Amino acid sequence: MLGKNISLSISPSTQLESENQTQEAKSSLLNNSNTQVSDNEQVLGGNILPSNSPSTHRKHGEGSGNLSWGYANANSTKKKPTKQLYFEWEYGGKRGKTYVRSHLKEQVISMNEAKVPVIQILKILTYNPKVARTLDLN
């Protein structure tokens, strides 16, 4: 027996079982892929329209602006600098850097993130004389 090739024989009933299992595996794969396609259609909908993502830029003619943090010395003996928010802007050929008061910070930050026209942000900051002149409010 040693040195001879031994061939494994598979009984006919075992062979039928393995064929049935292979067929079941193939059909379950097909069912899973069909289910996945129908799930995707339900999630995405029949007609897929491109989403309108929020803009990261202002439109032409709306001016430009961004927020920056600066430091100012506090009126104390230690002269510890305090952090302050500034709005740097350009509108109508004029440029400026305006301090944002603390009670307006959240509003100005949200408006800047939404990329509203600079003129709307400047209307909030009209306590600054340069901003008021730019908007012709004097």
User: 63-109, pLDDT tens digit by residue?
Assistant: 788 999 988 877 767 777 888 999 999 988 888 999 999 999 999 99
**Do 89 and 127 lie in a common domain?**
yes
Q: How far apart are CA 138 and CA 11, in angstroms?
A: 101
Domain contains 9: no
Residues 21, 68 within the same domain: no
As a whole number, the mean pLDDT across the chain is: 74
Residue 52 lies in a domain: no
Q: Quick one: pLDDT at residue 104? A: 94
- Which is more confident, 134 or 27? 134
pTM over 0.75: no
Length of the chain: 138
pLDDT band of 124, cuts 50, 70, 90: very high
The CA distance from 66 to 84, in Å, is: 14
What DSSP element (H or E) covers 101? none
- Considering its fold, how many domains does the chain have in total? 2
115: left (phi over 0), alpha (psi -120 to 50) or beta: left
Shared domain check, 81 and 117: yes
The pairing of strands 94-99 and 64-73 is unpaired
Distance CA 71, CA 69 (A): 7
Residues 112, 72 share a domain: yes
Residues 75 and 125 in one domain: yes
State which amino acid sits at residue 138: N
130 and 68 in a common domain: yes
Q: What is the pLDDT of residue 28?
A: 58
How large a percentage of the chain has pLDDT more than 90? Answer: 24
**Residue with the two structure tokens 């309108």:** 52
Question: Residue 82: what pLDDT?
Answer: 84
111-125 mean pLDDT: 91
pLDDT classification of 31: cutoffs 50, 70, 90: low
Residue 120 belongs to domain spanning:
64-134
